Copies of this chain bind each other. A is one copy, B any other.
Amino acid sequence: MSKKKFAVGVDLGGTTIKVGLVDEKGKIIKKVSYDSNSSKGPEAVTKQIKRGIEEVVKGNREKILGIGIGAPGAVKLKKGTVENPPNFYGWGKVHLGSILKKEFDCDVFVENDANAAAIGELIYGAGKYYKNFIMITLGTGVGGGIIIDKKIYRGDTGLAGELGHITIDSAGAKCKCGSIGCIEAYIGKDYLIERTKIKLQERNDSILFELTNGDLNLLTPKLIQSAAEQGDEFSNSVVVDTGTKLGYALASAVHVLDISTIIIGGGIAGFGKLLFDAVESSIKERVMKSFRDRITVKPAKLKNEAGIKGASALVFYKS
């Protein structure tokens, strides 16, 4: 007796496509990853996605409940259309949902990757027991997803939760989006590394010089984390500053939304307790009294496989 019970999660990234077969508890049964071929145009990318799905469903095809895809860029839910994802060459507009539905004859759910991450935490992760929460993902970009009444909040056009573009200093750092002082322009991975390199020019006591063998072009958030853990005062201050600034942006979001549970994921969340404590005390310092005691900052649970799991959660999620 076979029962449909698995979901396929597709994490579409600019460099790699990760595909997993996931059960309803969020356990990955099987996974593969391929080059995205993002420089070769949408057909090449779609081919890689199909190849990944074929591979993970092999032998279990009749047990597949549906396919979920987390994609960068703007997503139109109905047709599962993905528009202008950054770093994908010659893409324009692709009805990825319809194409895959036809190919695999099952339900296909396409969602913006930050929203998929929030839904993943809602279904399997740190947001399971909350009705409302703000999810923020710290990586190259700073992404966000807002859960209200256990549903993703989309706004007018599905772009709600662009938390990386909350201003923390309207006369501050330039952001690639064209605006000024967005939180992403301070703590997005590349910006963070650049700012840290500049600060290091005046801090020759930091062990980051050793950890990079004197070549600061090798600096990564992981090395900063590692140095902070080894007691490097400078790296410690970088982590605390990252958390404090993020707290300023989140305080604005809390004032707008009156949502007091914040879940933080993504690579830079690996900065760990030091970061989380800094975020929490910064938000509490900046929100009005009536919000203060309710603020809860939690690490995301899905970690490394957040992309696949978040995408697969779309299948188990009733929107």
Residues of A participating in the B interface, judged by any CB pair closer than 8 Å: 74, 132, 144, 146, 148, 153-163, 165-172, 177-181, 245, 248-249, 251-253, 255-260, 285-291, 294
Contacts and interface: CB of A to CB of B under 8 A. Distances in A.
Contacts of A168: 167, 169-170
A184 to B, nearest CB: 10
Contacts of A158: 258
A259 B157 CA distance: 8
A287 to B, nearest CB: 7
Given A160-B258, A170-B286, 4 more contacts: A158-B258, A163-B255, A177-B288, A256-B257
B245 A170 contact: yes
Nearest to A164: B255
A179 B163 CA distance: 20
Contact of A167 (B154, B162, B252): B252
Nearest to A291: B159
A74 B290 contact: yes
22 contacts: A132-B155, A154-B258, A155-B258, A156-B260, A157-B258, A158-B258, A159-B291, A160-B256, A161-B258, A162-B256, A162-B258, A165-B252, A165-B288, A166-B252, A168-B170, A169-B169, A169-B172, A169-B181, A178-B289, A179-B285, A179-B287, A252-B252
A272 B167 CA distance: 26
Number of copies: 2
Nearest to A248: B170
Given A169-B169, A169-B171, A170-B169, A179 B258 contact: no
Nearest to A245: B170
B287 A256 contact: no
Contacts of A157: 258, 290, 294
Contacts of A181: 169
Contacts of A153: 148
A253 to B, nearest CB: 5
Contacts of A154: 258
A156 B259 contact: yes
Contacts of A172: 169
Contacts of A161: 256, 258
Nearest to A167: B252
Contacts of A260: 156
Which of A249, A253, A290 has the most chain B CB within a 10 Å cutoff?
Answer: A290
Which of A144, A155, A259 has the most chain B CB within a 10 Å cutoff?
Answer: A155
Contacts of A179: 251, 285-288
Contacts of A294: 156-157
Given A132-B156, A155-B257, A162-B256, A248 B167 contact: yes
Contacts of A170: 168-169, 245, 248, 286
